[in-house]
Chain A
Amino acid sequence: MKALILNGGEDKSFQTVEAALLRDLEQRGLAVTALQMREMDIETCVGCFGCWIKTPGQCTINDAGRDVARQMITSDVVVYLTPVTFGGYSYHLKKVVDRFIPNILPFFRFYKKEIHHPQRYPNRPILIGLGILDKPDPEQERMFAELNLRNALNMEPPGFAAGVVYRSDSKDEISKKVVNMLDKAEVQNA
Protein backbone atom coordinates (compact mmCIF):
# COMPACT_ATOMS: atom_id res chain seq x y z
CA MET A 1 0.00 0.00 0.00
CA LYS A 2 1.29 3.43 -0.97
CA ALA A 3 0.78 6.91 0.42
CA LEU A 4 1.65 10.16 -1.31
CA ILE A 5 2.13 13.45 0.53
CA LEU A 6 1.91 16.54 -1.67
CA ASN A 7 3.53 19.30 0.34
CA GLY A 8 2.35 22.68 -0.95
CA GLY A 9 4.34 24.74 1.56
CA GLU A 10 6.22 27.83 0.42
CA ASP A 11 9.24 26.91 2.54
CA LYS A 12 10.55 24.19 4.87
CA SER A 13 8.42 25.28 7.84
CA PHE A 14 6.01 22.36 7.43
CA GLN A 15 8.60 19.73 8.29
CA THR A 16 7.15 18.98 11.76
CA VAL A 17 3.72 18.28 10.29
CA GLU A 18 5.16 16.31 7.37
CA ALA A 19 7.26 14.25 9.79
CA ALA A 20 4.17 13.42 11.90
CA LEU A 21 2.32 12.35 8.77
CA LEU A 22 5.22 10.24 7.56
CA ARG A 23 5.57 8.51 10.92
CA ASP A 24 1.87 7.73 11.34
CA LEU A 25 1.40 6.55 7.77
CA GLU A 26 4.49 4.33 8.00
CA GLN A 27 3.27 2.94 11.32
CA ARG A 28 0.15 1.82 9.47
CA GLY A 29 2.37 -0.08 7.05
CA LEU A 30 2.22 2.30 4.07
CA ALA A 31 5.20 3.09 1.87
CA VAL A 32 5.25 6.90 1.85
CA THR A 33 6.51 9.30 -0.81
CA ALA A 34 6.59 13.00 0.05
CA LEU A 35 6.87 15.50 -2.80
CA GLN A 36 7.86 19.12 -2.23
CA MET A 37 5.71 20.91 -4.78
CA ARG A 38 7.66 24.19 -4.52
CA GLU A 39 10.72 22.38 -5.87
CA MET A 40 8.91 20.88 -8.85
CA ASP A 41 8.75 22.76 -12.12
CA ILE A 42 5.17 21.99 -13.10
CA GLU A 43 3.26 24.00 -15.69
CA THR A 44 -0.24 25.08 -14.77
CA CYS A 45 -3.24 23.58 -16.59
CA VAL A 46 -4.00 25.50 -19.79
CA GLY A 47 -7.67 24.46 -19.97
CA CYS A 48 -7.31 22.80 -23.39
CA PHE A 49 -9.25 19.62 -22.43
CA GLY A 50 -6.72 17.65 -24.48
CA CYS A 51 -6.53 15.17 -21.59
CA TRP A 52 -10.19 14.31 -22.32
CA ILE A 53 -10.50 14.56 -26.09
CA LYS A 54 -6.99 14.19 -27.60
CA THR A 55 -4.93 11.95 -25.31
CA PRO A 56 -7.63 10.60 -22.96
CA GLY A 57 -6.34 10.15 -19.43
CA GLN A 58 -3.04 11.92 -20.03
CA CYS A 59 -2.22 15.65 -19.92
CA THR A 60 -0.88 17.10 -23.16
CA ILE A 61 1.84 18.94 -21.20
CA ASN A 62 4.81 16.61 -20.94
CA ASP A 63 6.35 17.52 -17.60
CA ALA A 64 6.44 16.27 -14.00
CA GLY A 65 2.74 17.10 -13.61
CA ARG A 66 1.92 14.00 -15.65
CA ASP A 67 3.92 11.79 -13.34
CA VAL A 68 2.35 13.25 -10.21
CA ALA A 69 -1.12 12.62 -11.69
CA ARG A 70 -0.11 8.98 -12.22
CA GLN A 71 1.34 8.71 -8.72
CA MET A 72 -1.82 10.25 -7.30
CA ILE A 73 -4.28 7.83 -8.87
CA THR A 74 -2.13 4.76 -8.18
CA SER A 75 -1.68 5.58 -4.49
CA ASP A 76 -3.90 4.26 -1.71
CA VAL A 77 -3.75 7.44 0.37
CA VAL A 78 -3.05 10.98 -0.83
CA VAL A 79 -2.46 13.87 1.56
CA TYR A 80 -2.79 17.49 0.45
CA LEU A 81 -0.55 19.38 2.89
CA THR A 82 -0.92 23.11 2.42
CA PRO A 83 -0.95 26.49 4.08
CA VAL A 84 -4.63 27.47 4.17
CA THR A 85 -4.63 30.18 1.51
CA PHE A 86 -7.75 32.36 1.48
CA GLY A 87 -9.60 29.27 2.66
CA GLY A 88 -8.15 27.00 -0.02
CA TYR A 89 -4.95 25.41 -1.26
CA SER A 90 -1.68 27.22 -1.90
CA TYR A 91 -0.51 27.86 -5.46
CA HIS A 92 2.21 25.23 -5.14
CA LEU A 93 -0.37 22.55 -4.31
CA LYS A 94 -3.08 23.79 -6.66
CA LYS A 95 -0.75 23.82 -9.69
CA VAL A 96 -0.68 20.03 -9.48
CA VAL A 97 -4.27 19.49 -8.29
CA ASP A 98 -5.46 21.27 -11.47
CA ARG A 99 -3.42 18.72 -13.42
CA PHE A 100 -5.46 15.83 -11.96
CA ILE A 101 -8.42 16.30 -14.30
CA PRO A 102 -7.11 13.59 -16.69
CA ASN A 103 -8.04 11.18 -13.88
CA ILE A 104 -11.75 11.86 -14.35
CA LEU A 105 -13.95 11.60 -17.44
CA PRO A 106 -15.34 14.52 -19.45
CA PHE A 107 -18.98 13.44 -19.36
CA PHE A 108 -21.67 14.79 -17.05
CA ARG A 109 -23.80 12.71 -14.72
CA PHE A 110 -26.00 13.36 -11.70
CA TYR A 111 -24.29 12.47 -8.43
CA LYS A 112 -25.79 13.40 -5.08
CA LYS A 113 -28.28 15.75 -6.77
CA GLU A 114 -25.60 17.72 -8.64
CA ILE A 115 -23.89 17.33 -11.98
CA HIS A 116 -20.35 15.96 -11.70
CA HIS A 117 -17.89 14.11 -13.91
CA PRO A 118 -17.74 10.30 -13.71
CA GLN A 119 -14.57 8.60 -12.49
CA ARG A 120 -12.04 7.20 -14.97
CA TYR A 121 -10.60 4.65 -12.54
CA PRO A 122 -12.42 2.17 -10.27
CA ASN A 123 -9.60 2.32 -7.67
CA ARG A 124 -8.97 5.72 -6.18
CA PRO A 125 -7.00 6.93 -3.16
CA ILE A 126 -8.30 8.05 0.19
CA LEU A 127 -8.00 11.86 0.27
CA ILE A 128 -6.80 13.83 3.27
CA GLY A 129 -6.61 17.62 3.30
CA LEU A 130 -4.34 18.94 6.03
CA GLY A 131 -4.17 22.71 6.23
CA ILE A 132 -1.84 24.87 8.28
CA LEU A 133 -2.90 28.20 9.74
CA ASP A 134 -0.99 30.76 11.79
CA LYS A 135 -3.87 30.96 14.26
CA PRO A 136 -7.52 29.88 14.54
CA ASP A 137 -9.66 31.38 11.78
CA PRO A 138 -13.19 29.90 11.78
CA GLU A 139 -14.15 31.26 8.34
CA GLN A 140 -11.04 29.98 6.55
CA GLU A 141 -11.35 26.67 8.40
CA ARG A 142 -14.97 26.36 7.21
CA MET A 143 -13.92 27.06 3.62
CA PHE A 144 -11.05 24.59 3.80
CA ALA A 145 -13.36 21.85 5.11
CA GLU A 146 -15.93 22.64 2.42
CA LEU A 147 -13.28 22.61 -0.32
CA ASN A 148 -12.16 19.15 0.74
CA LEU A 149 -15.77 18.00 0.89
CA ARG A 150 -16.44 19.31 -2.62
CA ASN A 151 -13.21 17.70 -3.88
CA ALA A 152 -14.47 14.44 -2.42
CA LEU A 153 -17.77 14.85 -4.30
CA ASN A 154 -15.81 15.23 -7.53
CA MET A 155 -13.16 12.58 -6.95
CA GLU A 156 -15.25 10.05 -4.98
CA PRO A 157 -12.46 8.75 -2.73
CA PRO A 158 -13.18 5.64 -0.65
CA GLY A 159 -12.52 7.76 2.45
CA PHE A 160 -11.63 11.36 3.19
CA ALA A 161 -10.91 13.75 6.03
CA ALA A 162 -9.91 17.37 6.36
CA GLY A 163 -8.60 19.45 9.18
CA VAL A 164 -6.14 22.13 10.21
CA VAL A 165 -3.22 22.48 12.54
CA TYR A 166 -1.88 25.76 13.86
CA ARG A 167 1.74 26.83 13.73
CA SER A 168 1.57 27.27 17.49
CA ASP A 169 0.52 23.62 18.05
CA SER A 170 2.98 21.46 19.95
CA LYS A 171 4.41 18.30 18.37
CA ASP A 172 2.02 16.24 20.52
CA GLU A 173 -1.00 18.26 19.42
CA ILE A 174 0.00 17.93 15.77
CA SER A 175 0.54 14.21 16.18
CA LYS A 176 -2.91 13.76 17.81
CA LYS A 177 -4.64 15.72 15.05
CA VAL A 178 -2.85 13.71 12.35
CA VAL A 179 -3.81 10.39 13.98
CA ASN A 180 -7.44 11.55 14.30
CA MET A 181 -7.56 12.53 10.65
CA LEU A 182 -6.09 9.23 9.45
CA ASP A 183 -8.60 7.39 11.66
CA LYS A 184 -11.49 9.49 10.35
CA ALA A 185 -10.45 8.78 6.74
CA GLU A 186 -10.29 5.11 7.72
CA VAL A 187 -6.67 4.65 6.75
CA GLN A 188 -6.27 1.03 7.81
CA ASN A 189 -3.12 -0.84 8.67
CA ALA A 190 -1.70 -2.32 5.49
Chain B
Amino acid sequence: MPKAIGLIGSPRGAKSNSKPIADYLLGKFEGQGFETETVLIYPEHRKDPALKGVIEKLDGVDLVALVFPLYIDSLPARLIRAFELIHKHRKDRKSSKDQRFMAICQSGFPESHQNLLALDMCKCFAELSGFRWIGGLPIGAGAIVGEQNLVDAGGRVYFIRNALDMTAEAIARNEEIPEEAIVAASKLPVPAWLYRLIGNSSWKQRAKKNDLRKRALYAKPYARH
Protein backbone atom coordinates (compact mmCIF):
# COMPACT_ATOMS: atom_id res chain seq x y z
CA MET B 1 0.00 0.00 0.00
CA PRO B 2 1.52 3.39 -1.00
CA LYS B 3 2.21 5.73 1.88
CA ALA B 4 1.47 9.47 2.06
CA ILE B 5 2.62 11.83 4.77
CA GLY B 6 0.90 15.12 5.55
CA LEU B 7 3.59 17.39 6.92
CA ILE B 8 2.24 20.34 8.91
CA GLY B 9 4.70 23.23 9.07
CA SER B 10 2.65 25.61 11.19
CA PRO B 11 3.95 26.75 14.58
CA ARG B 12 0.33 26.47 15.76
CA GLY B 13 0.47 22.73 15.11
CA ALA B 14 -2.87 20.95 15.52
CA LYS B 15 -4.66 24.26 16.14
CA SER B 16 -3.51 25.81 12.88
CA ASN B 17 -5.30 26.74 9.66
CA SER B 18 -2.92 24.34 7.92
CA LYS B 19 -4.11 21.20 9.76
CA PRO B 20 -7.70 21.07 8.38
CA ILE B 21 -6.33 21.54 4.86
CA ALA B 22 -3.96 18.59 5.32
CA ASP B 23 -6.70 16.49 6.96
CA TYR B 24 -9.03 17.02 4.01
CA LEU B 25 -6.35 16.14 1.46
CA LEU B 26 -5.18 13.06 3.37
CA GLY B 27 -8.81 11.91 3.53
CA LYS B 28 -8.90 12.05 -0.26
CA PHE B 29 -5.63 10.10 -0.47
CA GLU B 30 -7.04 7.41 1.83
CA GLY B 31 -9.93 7.05 -0.60
CA GLN B 32 -7.34 6.33 -3.30
CA GLY B 33 -5.76 3.54 -1.28
CA PHE B 34 -2.94 5.44 0.39
CA GLU B 35 -1.91 4.69 3.94
CA THR B 36 -1.63 8.15 5.51
CA GLU B 37 0.06 9.75 8.47
CA THR B 38 0.15 13.33 9.77
CA VAL B 39 3.41 14.74 11.11
CA LEU B 40 3.48 18.04 12.98
CA ILE B 41 6.81 19.89 12.78
CA TYR B 42 5.62 22.03 15.73
CA PRO B 43 5.42 21.50 18.63
CA GLU B 44 6.68 17.92 18.76
CA HIS B 45 9.80 18.54 16.69
CA ARG B 46 10.99 21.89 18.01
CA LYS B 47 14.50 20.59 18.70
CA ASP B 48 16.88 19.02 16.18
CA PRO B 49 17.15 15.52 17.71
CA ALA B 50 13.36 15.18 17.58
CA LEU B 51 13.45 15.71 13.80
CA LYS B 52 15.48 12.51 13.31
CA GLY B 53 12.35 10.37 13.31
CA VAL B 54 10.69 12.59 10.70
CA ILE B 55 13.75 12.45 8.46
CA GLU B 56 13.86 8.65 8.55
CA LYS B 57 10.12 8.38 8.04
CA LEU B 58 10.40 10.32 4.77
CA ASP B 59 12.84 7.73 3.39
CA GLY B 60 10.06 5.22 2.93
CA VAL B 61 7.21 7.45 1.82
CA ASP B 62 5.67 7.65 -1.66
CA LEU B 63 4.07 11.07 -1.36
CA VAL B 64 4.67 14.09 0.87
CA ALA B 65 1.99 16.80 1.13
CA LEU B 66 3.39 19.77 3.02
CA VAL B 67 0.99 22.41 4.34
CA PHE B 68 2.36 25.53 6.02
CA PRO B 69 1.67 29.22 6.66
CA LEU B 70 3.64 32.03 5.08
CA TYR B 71 6.01 33.57 7.64
CA ILE B 72 7.69 36.84 6.60
CA ASP B 73 7.46 35.98 2.89
CA SER B 74 8.98 32.56 3.44
CA LEU B 75 8.71 29.36 5.47
CA PRO B 76 8.50 29.26 9.29
CA ALA B 77 11.95 28.86 10.84
CA ARG B 78 11.52 25.32 12.17
CA LEU B 79 10.31 24.15 8.78
CA ILE B 80 13.48 25.58 7.23
CA ARG B 81 15.46 23.63 9.84
CA ALA B 82 13.59 20.46 8.91
CA PHE B 83 14.41 21.13 5.24
CA GLU B 84 18.10 21.68 6.06
CA LEU B 85 18.36 18.42 8.00
CA ILE B 86 16.30 16.36 5.53
CA HIS B 87 18.47 17.67 2.69
CA LYS B 88 21.67 16.85 4.59
CA HIS B 89 20.39 13.31 5.20
CA ARG B 90 19.32 12.71 1.61
CA LYS B 91 21.76 14.61 -0.62
CA ASP B 92 24.20 11.72 -1.15
CA ARG B 93 21.59 9.01 -0.82
CA LYS B 94 20.94 6.74 -3.78
CA SER B 95 17.33 5.73 -4.16
CA SER B 96 15.37 4.46 -7.12
CA LYS B 97 12.06 5.02 -5.31
CA ASP B 98 9.81 7.60 -6.95
CA GLN B 99 8.88 9.99 -4.13
CA ARG B 100 6.44 12.77 -4.94
CA PHE B 101 6.43 16.08 -3.05
CA MET B 102 3.75 18.77 -3.12
CA ALA B 103 3.22 21.85 -0.97
CA ILE B 104 0.37 24.14 0.02
CA CYS B 105 1.18 27.58 1.38
CA GLN B 106 -1.57 29.59 3.05
CA SER B 107 -1.24 33.12 4.36
CA GLY B 108 -3.23 35.85 6.03
CA PHE B 109 -2.86 38.09 2.99
CA PRO B 110 -5.68 37.77 0.48
CA GLU B 111 -3.40 37.83 -2.55
CA SER B 112 -2.38 34.24 -3.14
CA HIS B 113 0.57 35.35 -5.27
CA GLN B 114 2.32 36.47 -2.09
CA ASN B 115 2.80 32.73 -1.39
CA LEU B 116 4.43 31.82 -4.70
CA LEU B 117 7.99 32.53 -3.63
CA ALA B 118 7.66 30.23 -0.62
CA LEU B 119 6.37 27.50 -2.93
CA ASP B 120 9.38 28.05 -5.22
CA MET B 121 11.57 27.45 -2.15
CA CYS B 122 9.75 24.16 -1.50
CA LYS B 123 10.32 23.14 -5.14
CA CYS B 124 14.01 23.99 -4.78
CA PHE B 125 14.26 21.92 -1.60
CA ALA B 126 12.39 18.98 -3.10
CA GLU B 127 14.50 18.83 -6.25
CA LEU B 128 17.80 19.18 -4.38
CA SER B 129 16.73 16.45 -1.94
CA GLY B 130 15.72 13.72 -4.38
CA PHE B 131 11.95 14.17 -4.37
CA ARG B 132 9.84 14.60 -7.51
CA TRP B 133 8.14 17.99 -7.29
CA ILE B 134 4.53 17.80 -8.47
CA GLY B 135 3.43 21.34 -7.74
CA GLY B 136 2.13 23.75 -5.15
CA LEU B 137 -1.10 25.48 -4.20
CA PRO B 138 -1.10 29.11 -2.99
CA ILE B 139 -4.02 29.90 -0.71
CA GLY B 140 -4.75 33.51 0.25
CA ALA B 141 -6.81 34.64 3.24
CA GLY B 142 -5.96 31.46 5.15
CA ALA B 143 -7.61 32.81 8.28
CA ILE B 144 -10.93 32.00 6.60
CA VAL B 145 -10.19 28.30 7.11
CA GLY B 146 -9.96 28.44 10.91
CA GLU B 147 -9.56 25.23 12.86
CA GLN B 148 -12.77 23.71 11.53
CA ASN B 149 -13.00 20.58 9.41
CA LEU B 150 -13.19 21.75 5.77
CA VAL B 151 -16.31 19.68 5.09
CA ASP B 152 -18.17 21.41 7.93
CA ALA B 153 -16.78 24.86 7.10
CA GLY B 154 -19.30 25.32 4.28
CA GLY B 155 -19.24 27.79 1.41
CA ARG B 156 -16.46 29.98 2.70
CA VAL B 157 -13.93 27.27 1.87
CA TYR B 158 -15.64 26.01 -1.30
CA PHE B 159 -12.77 27.14 -3.54
CA ILE B 160 -10.19 25.46 -1.30
CA ARG B 161 -12.10 22.16 -1.26
CA ASN B 162 -12.44 22.40 -5.03
CA ALA B 163 -8.68 22.94 -5.42
CA LEU B 164 -7.89 20.02 -3.13
CA ASP B 165 -10.35 17.73 -4.94
CA MET B 166 -8.70 18.52 -8.29
CA THR B 167 -5.26 18.02 -6.75
CA ALA B 168 -6.18 14.61 -5.32
CA GLU B 169 -7.67 13.51 -8.64
CA ALA B 170 -4.49 14.56 -10.48
CA ILE B 171 -2.34 12.68 -7.99
CA ALA B 172 -4.46 9.56 -8.49
CA ARG B 173 -3.64 9.82 -12.21
CA ASN B 174 0.05 10.33 -11.32
CA GLU B 175 -0.09 13.83 -12.81
CA GLU B 176 1.16 17.16 -11.52
CA ILE B 177 -1.14 19.61 -9.74
CA PRO B 178 -3.22 21.13 -12.56
CA GLU B 179 -3.44 24.84 -13.32
CA GLU B 180 -7.19 24.72 -12.63
CA ALA B 181 -6.49 23.69 -9.03
CA ILE B 182 -4.02 26.55 -8.61
CA VAL B 183 -6.60 29.01 -9.97
CA ALA B 184 -9.27 27.61 -7.63
CA ALA B 185 -6.94 27.80 -4.60
CA SER B 186 -6.24 31.44 -5.44
CA LYS B 187 -9.91 32.49 -5.38
CA LEU B 188 -11.35 34.47 -2.47
CA PRO B 189 -14.86 33.99 -1.09
CA VAL B 190 -15.03 37.73 -0.31
CA PRO B 191 -13.47 40.75 -2.03
CA ALA B 192 -10.07 41.89 -0.69
CA TRP B 193 -11.49 45.17 0.66
CA LEU B 194 -14.09 43.30 2.71
CA TYR B 195 -11.49 40.80 3.95
CA ARG B 196 -9.38 43.76 5.07
CA LEU B 197 -12.32 45.33 6.88
CA ILE B 198 -13.22 42.07 8.66
CA GLY B 199 -9.56 41.41 9.49
CA ASN B 200 -9.00 44.83 11.05
CA SER B 201 -12.17 44.52 13.11
CA SER B 202 -11.10 41.05 14.25
CA TRP B 203 -7.74 42.30 15.60
CA LYS B 204 -9.54 44.94 17.66
CA GLN B 205 -12.00 42.39 19.04
CA ARG B 206 -9.23 39.96 19.97
CA ALA B 207 -7.31 42.76 21.73
CA LYS B 208 -10.45 43.78 23.61
CA LYS B 209 -10.62 40.29 25.12
CA ASN B 210 -7.21 41.12 26.63
CA ASP B 211 -8.59 44.43 27.97
CA LEU B 212 -6.68 46.39 25.34
CA ARG B 213 -8.25 49.26 23.43
CA LYS B 214 -7.32 49.98 19.81
CA ARG B 215 -4.95 52.79 20.81
CA ALA B 216 -2.88 50.41 22.95
CA LEU B 217 -2.14 48.26 19.91
CA TYR B 218 0.02 51.09 18.52
CA ALA B 219 2.46 50.95 21.48
CA LYS B 220 6.12 51.61 20.61
CA PRO B 221 8.15 49.91 23.34
CA TYR B 222 11.36 50.20 21.33
CA ALA B 223 10.98 53.80 20.13
CA ARG B 224 14.21 55.68 19.64
CA HIS B 225 14.79 58.50 22.12
Residues in A lying within 8 Å of B, measured CB to CB: 44-47, 49, 52-54, 56-58, 69-70, 73-74, 85-91, 94-95, 97-98, 100-101, 103, 105-110, 114-116, 120-121, 123, 139-140, 143, 146-147, 150-151, 154
Name the A residues within 8 Å of B128 (CB-CB): 86
13 intermolecular pairs with C-beta atoms under 8 Å apart: A44-B46, A56-B212, A56-B221, A86-B83, A87-B117, A89-B74, A103-B222, A106-B217, A108-B199, A109-B196, A110-B196, A114-B109, A147-B117
Contact yes or no, B117 A121, CB < 8 A: no
Could you tell me the distance between the alpha carbons of A94 and B124 in the complex, rounded to whole angstroms? 17
How far apart are A177's CB and chain B's nearest CB, in angstroms?
23
Which A-chain residue is minimally distant from B223 (CB atoms)? Answer: A121
Given contacts A94-B77, A150-B73, contact A53 B212 (CB under 8 A): yes
Size of the B side of the interface (Cβ < 8 Å), in residues, is 51
Chain A nearest Cβ from B93, distance in angstroms: 18
Report B186-225 CB contacts with A as 1/0, cut-off 8 Å: 0000001001100110010011001010001111111110
| B10 adjacent to chain A (CB < 8 Å) | yes
Q: Are B220 and A53 in contact (CB under 8 A)?
A: no
Question: Given contacts A98-B72, A114-B109, A147-B74, is CB(A91)–CB(B80) below 8 Å?
Answer: yes
The answer to whether A47 touches B11, judged by C-beta atoms less than 8 angstroms apart, is yes
B75 close to chain A: CB less than 8 A? yes
Cβ contacts under 8 Å, A100 to chain B: 72
List the B residue with the shortest CB-CB distance to A45: B11
A143 x B117 contact (CB < 8 A): yes
Contact A98 B77 (CB under 8 A): yes
Cβ contact of A44, chosen from B73, B76, B124, B216, cutoff 8 A: B76
Residue from B114, B218, B224 within 8 A of A105 (CB atoms): B218
Contact of A98 among B71, B87, B114 (CB under 8 A): B71
**B93-120 interface code vs A (CB 8 A; 1 in, 0 out):** 0000000000000000111001001001
- CA of A45 to CA of B196 in the docked complex: distance in angstroms? 24
Known: A52-B203, A101-B72, A116-B109. A94 touches B11 (CB 8 A): no
A88 touches B74 (CB 8 A): yes
Q: A46-B11, A114-B114 are in contact. List 15 more A-B contacts (CB 8 A).
A: A44-B42, A44-B46, A45-B71, A49-B206, A53-B203, A57-B222, A74-B222, A86-B128, A87-B120, A108-B196, A115-B110, A116-B109, A120-B218, A121-B222, A150-B117
A94 to chain B, nearest CB (A): 4
Which residues does chain B contribute within 8 Å of A151, judged by CB atoms? 72-73
Q: Mark B58-84, 1 if CB is under 8 A from A, else 0.
A: 000000000001011111111011011
Partner of B73, one of A115, A120, A140, A147: A147
Interface residues of B (CB under 8 A from A): 10-12, 16, 42-43, 46, 69, 71-78, 80-81, 83-84, 87, 109-111, 114, 117, 120-122, 124-125, 128, 192, 195-196, 199-200, 203, 206-207, 210, 212, 216-224
- Chain A contact residues: helix, strand, loop or mixed: mixed
Known contacts A120-B218, A121-B220; A89 and B80 CB within 8 A of each other: yes
Q: Determine the chain B residues whose CB is within 8 A of the CB of A47 once the complex forms.
A: 10-12, 16, 69, 76
Contacts A47-B12, A53-B217, A56-B217 hold; do A91 and B74 have CB atoms under 8 A apart? no
B222 close to A69 (CB less than 8 A): yes
